[in-house]
Amino acid sequence: MKVFAGNSNRQLAEAICNYLNVPMGKASVRRFADQEIFVEIQENVRGEDIFVVQSTSYPTNDHLMELLIMIDAFRRSSARRITAVLPYFGYARQDRRASGRTPISAKLVANLITRAGADRVLTLDLHAGQIQGFFDIPTDNLFAAPVLARDVKARRNLENVMVVSPDVGGVVRARALAKRLDCLLAIVDKRRERPGESEVMNIIGDVEGKECILIDDIIDSGGTLCNAAEALLNNGAINVTAYITHGVLSGNAVERITNSKLQELVITDSIQPRSDMVTAPNIRVISTAPLIGEAINRTSHESSVSSLFD
């Protein structure tokens, strides 16, 4: 087993290697003067079980091309098996045709990864579970819920906690966390007037006197969560904390979170945190390295990955 990484999330890749107690694979991923990507594998990988850690986060297209070119380099170097480890799978929100004459980009990206030469995919909290079916190779979708649940249990009195889904579409995810924590569930009913904007309409459930935990897979602009937090507090919640797997936080999202009524935003390191996220007073990052590292170890030894979530 050898673990390599592109340039998107080296910190997480190094933490995964530390968990596995293996050295980071030696590879050079650099740019020519015209910004073409060049990859050189600097050690023998013939017959090896290769894991390439690369989040396709901003700049999404650059990091995606790095992944595809690295996979091609390993395939041409006679690696025995290549697993693409995507802690964050970009383009996942384009998983269906929401209107006429639009693409299903998540399927296109899945095809690209498969045709580049990947033998299997390991990812974390896909935006839509059915994306696993877009790949024609074995795909394991890990869940961050165990990591998030442990953090909640360590910091909260569960008797007074209520898990809240920020929209109707996230109810399944919120219900799963509520079941793990053995606590109640509420739902924020919202209406999105246009992309990137949302208006909270109603709270389904009694949040009076509760410590509310908002749960979602992606935070981008932060508008939905900030509106939801304000609505929950207006309905009697004591405080509101958000647990989100993928901290995209584009534009002025960090400033919006800092100035919001959220007590805390907890994100994972599936996307490498920027400096403004690290220094923000109410944003905290927790690591998924043990989860992903254990999944890599089990994949390499052909043992069960799904049992991680039993």
Annotated catalytic sites, by residue? 190
Beta-sheet strand order (sheet of 139-142) = 2-5, 49-53, 81-86, 120-124, 139-142
What's the CA dihedral at 73, 76, 80, 84 to 10 degrees? 30
The reply, when asked if residue 264 is annotated as ligand binding, is no
The answer to whether residues 213 and 161 touch, using CB atoms and an 8 Å cutoff, is yes
Which residue stretches of 46-190 are H helix? 60-76, 105-116, 145-155, 171-181
The answer to whether residues 246 and 219 touch, using CB atoms and an 8 Å cutoff, is yes
Q: Is 3 helix (H, G, I), strand (E, B) or coil?
A: strand
The reply, when asked if residue 117 is annotated as ligand binding, is no
The reply, when asked if residue 94 is annotated as ligand binding, is yes
The reply, when asked if residue 95 is annotated as ligand binding, is no
Cα gap 54→47, rounded to integer Å:
21
Question: Cβ-count burial of 207 within 10 angstroms (0-12 exposed, 13-18 middle, 19+ buried)?
Answer: buried
**How far, in whole angstroms, is CA 156 from its chain's centroid?**
23
Cβ neighbours, 10 Å, residue 42:
10
The reply, when asked if residue 167 is annotated as ligand binding, is yes
Cα gap 132→123, rounded to integer Å:
9
The reply, when asked if residue 43 is annotated as ligand binding, is no
The reply, when asked if residue 222 is annotated as ligand binding, is yes
Report the binding-site residues for ATP. 34-36, 93-94
Binding region for Mg(2+): 127, 167
Binding residue positions: 34-36, 93-94, 127, 167, 192, 216, 220-224
